[in-house]
Amino acid sequence: MFQAVSVGILIKDHKVLLGLRKFEEVWEFPGGSVKKGEQPEETLIREFQEELDIQIKEYELANSFCYYKYKSRIIVLFYVTKWEGEIKKNCHTDLKWFSFKECKKYKVPNINPELLNRILKILSKKIEIKVKK
């Protein structure tokens, strides 16, 4: 059985926001598990409100894929392109904006090293597209 997870990526000045988990000392993208009866988009909005205290105003689907390494997951990846409110660390010890290269230098949850590589590959294409316009 698969567990769906919504992951949101905030991009600002060619950097992405990561949060430091309180008890594990690992960096992660904001997001979380889709609850029963919830759509991935609803999860994204709920998780960002809970974790960062911001209201998502615009987002777009970046990609989705299955992940089997530790647990069977369906990762639904979104770009968050517009939000309201000041970002707060409600669920994290720290929040930082990282360049794509910096992301690879920090410890991430067990499920995330491969996920991080996939996300960075998708992000690099997104940034290239934005720059070309």
CATH of the domain at 89: 3.90.79.10
Domain count, the chain: 1
Confidence of residue 57 (pLDDT cuts 50, 70, 90): very high
Distance from C-alpha of 92 to C-alpha of 74, rounded to nearest angstrom: 23
Domain that holds residue 23: 3-132
Is the pTM higher than 0.75? The answer reads yes
pLDDT of 130 strictly over 50: no
How far is residue 42 CA from its own chain's centroid? 14
The per-residue pLDDT for 90 is 93
Report the percent of the chain where pLDDT is more than 70.
82
